[in-house]
Structure 1
């Protein structure tokens, strides 16, 4: 197993950490971070060596994302969305499904894949869409709608997205496809400069308007019925997304814990109250990396968790976010009043960690999945 320090050495992490505060303050995209990460093959971590990548496992990449998030959570979250697509492509490839081979080849060549799934008011997320997907005679699809939280907006070259085809002879179908950046030049993709948020500012997850944006036939990768179903592409998106999101927030928890340790050492590391607080944070944090690692390995080995998969995946994401929020809160107390200043790294972590609740699965969805797994589906009134 590749050690995270060999790919993300301390000097690189420190450069990324030094830039993070400026990107947060100025609300700018971390272009230099992306350049350095691209230079070490980070965009192709999950791409098999035979296709020009690093050939790492999802478990190894989850560890790297935790490490990157200790330096710059927003950079880690931005890169996450590209890694989700390469992770899905790798998962399908490992199962003999080559539908997303172009993603693996593109990532090795330097392409940046963005995630265009979120829509305002669409609580179904993957299982429904308010974006219209209009079929064309040549097999292409034209998408019209609005996507929110489109991370990597300034730099993506391919936008992976979904929309609803209501004209299909076999009933409504959710269409998954990739729209190239040149659709922006054609005026069919318009990216609003509207990202001015509480935290995770460097992700530049801007709103994307689609006005008949065309995905060519060879980039239309799936047509599935709306609603929950076991298609490997849909499951791949959900599983990789949840695990890599959990990794970023676990990295935030680790950095907050490290900063609390430094603060306690400066004050009085023998103080019983401080020792209890740091221990409490450490106990909470220590539970998360093994859980993420275990689920990554279960995915790789195709362990059959049956209907529990969705509760396990949404649960680990939910726990990572709530754990990170609790650890950051406690770290603020340990560090004292200096952490309340906006220039404080803990202050930035406090704002960044707040974004966790907005990523699918939200707390309601996670609890619904767990209740269904343990109690059975909710009965429909007769």
Structure 2
């Protein structure tokens, strides 16, 4: 496995230009055919990408959150759906890192599994559950041996065709100390046992390659050694809640920031290639086009430093107190809304050619829309930030 130090970090070590170009070409096919990017995953595995956040002592790369964020931005510029799919695996390895950095080693098996080639899926989202991490529609039933059975339905389960362990949460209402939120990992073998069903229902506007299918849990069993946390429901500063929320938001922001950067690059190239019939000059010399691209760049330039700073603060266990959640939901919200605005402007720069489904900007236009649906959505982000600055709503 290739390793790099923080001091000499080079994005191309893990994502060389030729690999990115292969992924960019395949992204067209997976979007058109609504298929999972198996070849992308194989190449990323071979590059050590699944274990970027795993400690070097366990055979991983030992990278920081900020370094992986930059890699995800680079990957998203070539294959947004691949980046978003692999994000969900990286979230769990990132959570394991956040917990380990704080002296909690209950997720060491995630790092060990990632180094060994396991793929971790993210089974948290549920239809109609706006509590997200603070509650669950899924029933978590305890067993005498410490294992749990989970029954419920998870949506937007990225990596559905390939995950080997699925991280889920559910609500235990039957234990004496209940109710308790239970976080655990389900083995893929539960599918063969009929206790886990993956629907083939992913047919969406964009991000088609993620294959984020609906997952039904019918008493799917997580072994006792894969039950990693039991905490009270509701707003909770527990390390696993912070770990999931922080890494999830930061890596989502990274993917959409990568899409924004690619949209600018395509707009710049297109402006240089298009020629005005009126002036005989390229559109890159048109004052209106120059202003629009400058506005796109001004918006984009603010995003990577914000993400870097918060990633570094998470790694350093900085204490932002109750402001943490507003800062994290805020950076995700800004990245997604900025990326959408930038892609909109890139389409205007490129002109009518971008309206054809075969155009890269057409795909980016559809892919970037998915960002609006990920937690924290605009309503949740504004509510969280309002509470941080104004205090909670009066009852």
Does residue 169 of structure 2 align to residue 154 of structure 1? no
Verify: 1:289 aligned to 2:296, yes or no: no
Does 2:13 correspond to 1:6? yes
Aligned match of 1:191: 198
Residue of structure 2 aligned with 1:71, choices 62, 69, 78:
78
Q: Please give the alpha-carbon distance, in whole angstroms, between the structure 2 residues aligned to 1:266 and 1:343.
A: 18
The aligned residue for residue 130 of structure 2 is: 123
Q: 2-side partners of 1:230 and 1:323: how far apart?
A: 29
| 1:319 partnered with 2:326 | no
Give the match for residue 3 of structure 2.
Answer: none
| Alignment correspondent of 1:378 | 393
Aligned pair 1:51/2:66, yes or no? Answer: no
- Which residues in structure 2 correspond to 1:266-345 (within 5 Å)? 266-267=273-274, 268=282, 269-345=284-360
Structure 1 portions without partners, runs of 5+: none
Match among 143, 149, 168 for residue 142 of structure 1: 149
Whole-Å separation in 1 of the counterparts to 2:60 and 2:13: 16
Aligned to 2:257: 250
What is the rounded CA distance, in whole Å, between the counterparts of 1:172 and 1:91 in structure 2?
A: 26
Classify the secondary structure of the residue corresponding to 1:156: coil
Counterpart in 2 of 1:349? 364
TM-score (ref. length: structure 2): 0.96
Deviations 1:313-360 (A, max 9, x none): 000000000000000000000000000000000000000000001100
Q: CA deviation at 1:171?
A: 2.4
How big is the shift at 1:3?
A: 1.6
User: Which aligned runs of 4 or more in structure 1 are off by greater than 2 angstroms?
Assistant: none
- Does residue 1:30 correspond to 2:37, yes or no? yes
Per the alignment, residue 132 of structure 1 pairs with 139
Deviations 1:249-277 (A, max 9, x none): 00000000000000111122111111101
| Distance in structure 2 (CA, Å) of the matches to 1:198 and 1:276 | 30
Write the distance in 1 (CA, Å) between the matches of 2:234 and 2:132: 10
Instruction: Spell out, residue by residue over 1:259-303, the C-alpha distance to the aligned partner (whole angstroms, 9 max, x if none).
Output: 000011112211111110110000000010000000001111111
Q: 3-state DSSP class of the match of 1:315?
A: helix
Shift in Å, 1:5: 1.8
- Structure 2 residue 269 is the aligned partner of structure 1 residue 265: no
**Matches of 1:113 and 1:300 in 2, distance apart?**
21
1:19 lines up with 2:26 in the alignment: yes
Say if 2:101 is the partner of 1:101: no
Corresponding residue of 1:168: 175
Measured after TM superposition, the shift of residue 91 of structure 1 is 1.1
> How much has 1:96 moved relative to structure 2?
1.3
Q: Which runs of 5+ in 2 are unaligned?
A: 1-5, 275-281
| Aligned positions of 1:356-375 closer than 5 A | 356-375=371-390
Counterparts of 1:219 and 1:3, CA distance in 2: 35
What is the match of residue 184 of structure 2?
A: 177
Q: Secondary structure at the match of 2:357?
A: coil
Q: 2:70 is paired with a residue of what secondary structure?
A: helix
Distance 1:171 1:190 in 2: 28
Separation in 1, partners of 2:237, 2:142: 24
User: SS at the partner of 2:160?
Assistant: coil
> Within 1, Cα distance between the matches of 2:156 and 2:85?
11
Aligned-residue offset at 1:170: 1.3
